[in-house]
Chains A and B, each alone.
Chain A
Amino acid sequence: GNSVTQMEGPVTLSEEAFLTINCTYTATGYPSLFWYVQYPGEGLQLLLKATKADDKGSNKGFEATYRKETTSFHLEKGSVQVSDSAVYFCALKRDTGRRALTFGSGTRLQVQP
């Protein structure tokens, strides 16, 4: 079946540090890939997405590239801010059949000033 594996957190960084959160997936076909973010006390928000191999999703300084050869969709940001502190979820959506999202376990990011 489909699954998403994320690096376990929490990840603690100083402001302006480089961020990588690893995400790998298992899926048949050609799924779409997503990163969602959940800020403290708020609901899930889409951060970025990619729908086919080699696509790069980007938003708010975050980037992730859909790598089919390594089945990965790692999230990166060159310089994190305190306001980036949140829980980040990697997710996939199948290209056929059920369109519900399959989520990773989430990675908590804490950025210290």
Chain B
Amino acid sequence: GAGVSQSPSNKVTEKGKDVELRCDPISGHTALYWYRQSLGQGLEFLIYFQGNSAPDKSGLPSDRFSAERTGGSVSTLTIQRTQQEDSAVYLCASSLESGSLSYEQYFGPGTRLTVT
């Protein structure tokens, strides 16, 4: 079956503009994660959706970042008023989740965001 897909693969935007990044998880996966990979910060968690529960937003770096997951499937990460420090690769991952410790998170190819 298809893996996790993300779009766009690359996005160049001007400082101050808003951007939307999309993630299509593996069908049937109830958990969805957003991470950010940047040179200065490594791989860091942003936000976590699990089923119908309220999302865990504890990793979002500022209130300019938000995300939603519609119908328990597709997710959109929105960055408002982008800043140069937002430049990074944004990774989405999905997994089955039922309380088990060992379900693998499958990662998408990422969206490379460059803020000029």
Contacts and interface: CB of A to CB of B under 8 A. Distances in A.
B112 to A, nearest CB: 11
Contacts of B107: 36, 43-45
Given A44-B91, A49-B102, A95-B101, A101 B45 contact: yes
Interface in A53-93: 89, 93
A51 interface: yes
B59 A103 contact: no
B43 A103 contact: yes
A46 interface: yes
Contacts of A51: 101-102
Interface string B88-103: 0001010001000110
A43 B50 contact: no
B97 A99 contact: yes
Contacts of B102: 32, 49, 51
Number of chain A interface residues as a range? 20 to 34
A96 to B, nearest CB: 10
A55 B19 CA distance: 43
B58 interface: yes
A99 B91 contact: no
Contacts of A98: 45, 48, 56, 58
B50 A46 contact: no
Given A43-B107, A43-B109, A99-B50, A104 B42 contact: yes
19 contacts: A30-B101, A31-B101, A32-B102, A43-B91, A43-B107, A43-B109, A49-B102, A51-B101, A51-B102, A98-B45, A98-B48, A98-B58, A99-B50, A100-B56, A100-B59, A101-B35, A101-B105, A103-B43, A103-B44
Interface of B: 31, 33, 35, 42-45, 48, 50, 56, 58-59, 91, 93, 97, 101-102, 104-110
Interface of A: 30-32, 36, 42-46, 49, 51, 89, 93, 95, 98-106
Given A43-B109, A100-B33, 4 more contacts: A32-B102, A46-B105, A95-B101, A100-B48
